[in-house]
């Protein structure tokens, strides 16, 4: 099950990454940032294509890769073997897991626009989704546990132009509560109940 979740999440992020960086520039006013993010998006698309070819036909790259690159290619071989073995035997579970992961991400990303609508702020769902995807990729580099601090600061920075200043703090707090803290609270309550019962 962990393998299904991990691979499903990886595929979703991999497929969404090019679109995020291609259109991420719209979130910024600086022309240099806009062009840079688009170039990154194009490079990611090229990387995804090369990665797909490497997984499908890794033998095409063997003659060009030696040393550490060759070791990396061996890891690609192993991943391909494991993935194909798992997918051929449990393809239905993989598809179901992928669909559930998409539903999960959609529900997660819908929290922000719903909160905006609740606060009486005009909502562009596509733009809000895009901003959150940018944030998710940025949080992958966060050194703090659970991206604490970085998530709030990044979210506030991205939505600064869309949320009135007097509501920004409330909006960020509500978003963080429903996307992170509420699950931790419920998990803690259930854990305490489980400990008492055992």
List the pLDDT tens digit at each of the 198 positions of the chain: 545 555 555 666 666 666 666 665 555 555 666 666 677 667 777 777 777 776 667 666 666 666 555 666 666 677 777 777 766 777 777 778 778 878 888 898 899 999 999 999 888 887 888 788 778 777 766 666 666 778 888 888 888 888 888 899 999 999 999 988 898 899 889 989 888 887
How many domains does the chain divide into? 1
The DSSP annotation for 83-137 comes to HHHHHHHHHHHHHHHHHHHHHHHHHHHHHHHHHHHHTT----HHHHHHHHHHHHH
Task: Using alpha carbons, list the distances in angstroms from residue 136 to 59, 103, 139, 179.
Answer: 34, 16, 5, 12
pTM, entire model? 0.65
Sign of CA dihedral 31, 33, 37, 39: positive
Cβ neighbours of 115 (radius 10 Å): 21
Q: Which of 98, 46, 56 is nearest to 76 (CA)?
A: 56
Query: What is the model's pLDDT at position 93?
Result: 76
Range of the domain at 181: 2-197
Query: What is the model's pLDDT at position 177?
Result: 92
- For residues 51 and 123, give the distance between their C-alpha atoms in angstroms, rounded to a whole number: 36
- For 188, the 3-state DSSP assignment is helix
Query: What is the model's pLDDT at position 145?
Result: 65
Query: What is the model's pLDDT at position 150?
Result: 80
């Amino acid at each position: 099950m962990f393998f299904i979740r991990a691979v499903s999440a990886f595929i979703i992020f991999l497929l969404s990454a090019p679109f995020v960086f291609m259109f991420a520039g719209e979130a910024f006013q600086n022309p240099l940032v806009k062009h840079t993010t688009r170039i990154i998006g194009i490079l990611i698309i090229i990387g995804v294509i090369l990665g797909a070819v490497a997984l499908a036909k890794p033998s095409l790259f063997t003659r060009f890769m030696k040393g550490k690159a060759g070791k990396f290619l061996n890891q690609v071989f192993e991943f391909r073997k494991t993935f194909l073995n798992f997918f051929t035997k449990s393809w239905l579970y993989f598809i179901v897991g992928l669909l559930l992961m998409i539903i999960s991400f959609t529900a997660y990303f819908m929290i922000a626009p719903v909160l905006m609508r609740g606060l009486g702020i005009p909502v562009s769902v596509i733009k809000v989704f895009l901003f959150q995807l940018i944030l998710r990729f940025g949080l992958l580099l966060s050194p703090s546990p659970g991206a604490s601090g970085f998530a709030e600061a990044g979210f506030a920075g991205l939505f600064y132009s869309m949320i009135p200043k007097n509501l920004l703090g409330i909006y960020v707090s509500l978003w963080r509560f429903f996307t992170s803290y509420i699950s931790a609270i419920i998990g803690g309550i259930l854990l305490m109940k489980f400990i008492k019962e055992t």
